[in-house]
Structure 1
């Protein structure tokens, strides 16, 4: 999916991101092409999770209620600790991109696993820095990995939800 167009919307709350995913699904956007990334694990928690391309979120420690609702929707999950940011949860295709960045040694030159994953999606350095800062500020990203036929759906839904988004 890294060759597809990417559309990214930033949400202040997990509930807002969750609602956007549900609305996109109801409008016919393929769930297999949606990702969500955000924090949600605090240092006193002990997250438990795993990542595979075809698995769903099983458990995220005490955050199960927060992320579990998306676990039934989005395929693939990853938990990474980003220096300076802390634990970051990802669900959807971005989880596999993060796992590939880690496994392939794409992390280097000061880049975090998250930054390397964003970079592999074709995001500019400025976008990588911005979106890492959004996550650090406890925002949530919904990423639509768009095939041409999906782009109109994603744009229409996000406009109707009055959510700012940008193609990257």
Structure 2
């Protein structure tokens, strides 16, 4: 098994990637999505029954997904340093289970610990976590080695963030790593950050 991760600036692109992963045969139990919800794009009254159970603290099992695919099991939760997220799947369950300052593989618990525990390098995990904190959506899949190339095409294609370029953009603005104790970006800060990154100098 190989873990493949992609960061998306647009939730719809991340959602489409989840659907594509399911279409090539990746089981929904092996796919996870964590999307920033600082601007409340995913409203409480739109949560599926599985999401309501998760939001009410009924257990992490509801986050694994419903009968209609992973995205039917979306629920709202808070991850330290990232803030409110809409999430489903194993990585989200691991991130919630790891909060509380646990150290996993040298990284803090929460989303960093969940990513490094799944096989993502700590260096990349910091960028992924920061990307979600700043308004992005993260899709992570555990795939059979035979599907790894196709999963990488889906999660690291033209719709996803180029991780090296994003790391450079963050570092050029003085960023040194994801800080789980930092305040998450609100929707205004996330939009300013997007504009800064996309406006030519």
SS class of match (1:145):
strand
- Of the two structures, which has the highest relative contact order with CA contacts closer than 8 Å and spacing of 6 or more? 1
Task: State yes or no: 1:87 paired with 2:84.
Answer: yes
Question: How do 1:22-33 residues align onto structure 2 when only pairs under 5 Å count?
Answer: 22-33=19-30
Q: TM-score, normalised by structure 1?
A: 0.67
Q: Could you list the runs of 5+ residues in structure 1 that have no partner in the other structure?
A: 59-69
CA drift of 1:139 comes to 1.1
1:129 pairs with 120, 126, 130, which one? 126
Residues 9, 54 of structure 1: CA spacing in aligned structure 2 closer, same or farther, 3 A cutoff? same
SS class of match (1:96):
helix
SS class of match (1:116):
helix
Give the RMSD, CA atoms, in angstroms.
3.7
CA drift of 1:125 comes to 2.4
Q: Which has the higher helix share?
A: 2
CA drift of 1:89 comes to 3.2
1:162 pairs with 158, 161, 173, which one? 158
Which residue in the other structure is 1:15 paired with? Answer: 12
Which residue in the other structure is 1:55 paired with? Answer: 62
Show CA shifts across 1:85-113 (max 9, x none).
Answer: 3223321111221233238x625898351
Residues 78, 120 of structure 1: CA spacing in aligned structure 2 closer, same or farther, 3 A cutoff? farther
Residues 71, 114 of structure 1: CA spacing in aligned structure 2 closer, same or farther, 3 A cutoff? farther
SS class of match (1:162):
coil
Alpha-carbon separation, structure 2, partners of 1:153 and 1:51: 35
CA drift of 1:52 comes to 3.7
Rg comparison, structure with higher value: 2
Q: Could you list the runs of 5+ residues in structure 2 that have no partner in the other structure?
A: 45-51, 163-201
Show CA shifts across 1:17-67 (max 9, x none).
Answer: 111111222222222211111211448x99661464542589xxxxxxxxx
Which residue in the other structure is 1:113 paired with? Answer: 110
Alpha-carbon separation, structure 1, partners of 2:4 and 2:161: 7
